[in-house]
Amino acid sequence: MLFNIRKSLNKINLSVIMDNSNFSGKIEKFGKNSAKATTSQFFGFLLDAFDLTMILSTAPILAVVLLPPTTALLGAFSIILAYSLTIIFRPFGSAIFGHFGDKIGRKKDLIITILGLGLVSTLTSALPTYANVGILAFVLFVIIRIFVGTFAGGEYAAGHPFVMEWTPYKFRGTISGLVQGGFSFGALLAAAIVAIFTGYFGLAAIKAYAWRYLFLTTLIPVFIALIVRLTMNDTPAFKNLQKENKLKKKPFTDLFRQEHRKDFFQVMTYMTGMFFFAYSLFAFVPTILEHAPSVFPYGEADTIYTYSLGTAFIGALFFGSLSQKIGRRKLTLFWAILTIIISVPMFYGAFYGAKTDNVPLTIISVLVIGFITQAPWGIIPVYLSERFETGMRSSGVGFGYSSGIFLGGWFSIYVPFMHNYFFKSIDTTTNIWFSTAILLVIGAIIVGIGMYLSPETLGTELIEDTTIKKIESTKENKNTNENENIAEN
């Protein structure tokens, strides 16, 4: 009888541990907190892309405003180089804010990063021009880009784990695609605003003063994201670690311990290729459409580019949702092979269409480019969150994400190098379509290698290790008690 009572008590204790979502951190329903987390990260990522696309879409204008007179292509490359610094400083922000996201909480991190990212980006509207202060104008622009990159690195270090830890398992792929699609939507919104402002004010007024108004619009997504974040709760997964004093002392440096080092470098390889995917679209498609032998005027080229961002958003949502059914690894490997096959035809279609004023061909080509290059980003929030345990998830996701920048972030050097030394006769002297296509092919190969080395993460539970250990410990105690009682009897 005593044995049966003990057995029943052990079952009750185990069921309490298994069913208590506040302890385990496992989210069963998509409720208010899940919706807030999704909205928060959607607008945070929207802001990141909004800022970056605003820079790229206005590169020809900023080159005139901030730099001494030079050729249009060289001026655009100079602005893109400053843009690259935004990317290159992201690992620094990821290291700082990822560490604190694992130490003080995801929510506090996210409030700091959205304020920093939004306010610093808006400062672009207050820059003096080259006519006013000479080259100091460009120097100040570069400094702003460095700070923007730092805060952006922190934005996804805390944001991606936050939204995934609040998302029920069955919705993870879809929410991942939706959140990541916020980046494409932000790029779409920025490109649309540039097109609207250019049409309303005219190119002459944009170059003279109205470019400042463009960067003031950054405050809109900042305000929305900040309001949502101030009303959010931190995730049960983090709170439980904090409550049990199980937070890691050095979460960032733990990434490089022997047991985690291999995983980190696999993620780094994968993300290097992913950045080649991203900036094949964001950095160079506008340049291909705006420079000779393209015959499109600036406003029309920007409008066509905007269309590609719509398919990018759809692609991320599609890819994330599909990965929940067939797996992150299998889908990505297939996509890498597909991209290698169609990269050159896609970019040639955009180049030839712009050269011959064939608008339908150009639109179709950039729509496909937008879809194929941005769809695989739909799994990034969920895949990276599933690769790292709770106690180091902000550090792992943030620095793992941005580690691809160490090699992938120098795209603004790779493409001009390939153009000048290998492919100028194919590109033409004033366009870079073939060099960009080759960049994407290289990116697809690297993505394929990185994902081939990865385990399949579909099915991973985003619960802290202490929960698992406690459940296992309870099971062991249960078995021990049963064995002792059997021996006594």
Q: Give me the pLDDT at residue 7, please.
A: 43
Residue type, 166: W
State yes or no: pLDDT of 322 exceeds 50. yes
Across the range 60-88, mean pLDDT stands at 78
Across the range 122-138, mean pLDDT stands at 92
Identify whether 487 is part of a domain. Answer: no
Identify whether 314 is part of a domain. Answer: yes
Question: Cβ–Cβ contacts within 10 Å for residue 469, how many?
Answer: 11
CA-to-CA distance for 71 and 69, rounded, in angstroms?
A: 7
pLDDT per position as a tens digit, 330-387: 999 999 999 999 999 999 999 999 999 999 999 999 999 999 999 999 999 999 999 9
Identify whether 184 is part of a domain. Answer: yes
Among the residue ranges 1-10, 293-302, 339-348, the one predicted with the least confidence is 1-10
Identify whether 439 is part of a domain. Answer: yes
Identify whether 431 is part of a domain. Answer: yes
Q: At what angle do helices 72-88 and 90-103 cross, to 10 degrees?
A: 20
- Structural domain for 346, as ranges: 28-235+258-460
Identify whether 471 is part of a domain. Answer: no
Q: Give me the pLDDT at residue 73, please.
A: 63
Tokens representing 295 are 């015959």
Q: Give me the pLDDT at residue 464, please.
A: 55
Count the residues in the chain.
489
Q: Give me the pLDDT at residue 349, please.
A: 95
- CB 109 within 8 Å of CB 97: yes
Identify whether 479 is part of a domain. Answer: no
State yes or no: pLDDT of 24 exceeds 60. no
Q: Give me the pLDDT at residue 353, please.
A: 94
Sequence-distant contacts of 10-15: CB under 8 A, at least 24 apart: 10/474, 10/477, 10/478, 10/481, 11/478, 13/474, 14/471, 14/474, 14/475, 14/478
CATH number for position 452? 1.20.1250.20
CA-to-CA distance for 56 and 59, rounded, in angstroms?
A: 5
In the structure, what pLDDT confidence band is assigned to residue 12 with cuts at 50, 70 and 90? very low
Q: Give me the pLDDT at residue 468, please.
A: 37
pLDDT over 90, % of the chain: 55
Tokens representing 412 are 């603004």
pTM above 0.85, yes or no: no
DSSP for residue 257: S
Tokens representing 46 are 């929207």
Q: Which CA distances in Å does 436 have to 106, 283, 320, 370? A: 37, 10, 26, 14
pLDDT per position as a tens digit, 48-73: 889 988 888 888 888 888 888 766 66
The beta strand positions in 72-177, using DSSP E, are none
Average pLDDT, rounded, for the chain: 85
CA-to-CA distance for 333 and 327, rounded, in angstroms?
A: 10
* Location of structure tokens 């620095």: 399
Give me the number of domains the chain comprises. 1
Q: Give me the pLDDT at residue 399, please.
A: 95
Identify whether 15 is part of a domain. Answer: no
pLDDT per position as a tens digit, 178-188: 999 998 888 88
Tokens representing 417 are 């190098």
Q: Give me the pLDDT at residue 3, please.
A: 43
**What's the distance, Cα to Cα, between the start and end of the chain in Å?**
11
Tokens representing 160 are 């991606």
- Of 272, 318, 271, 281, give the one whose Cα is nearest residue 176: 318
CA-to-CA distance for 287 and 83, rounded, in angstroms?
A: 14
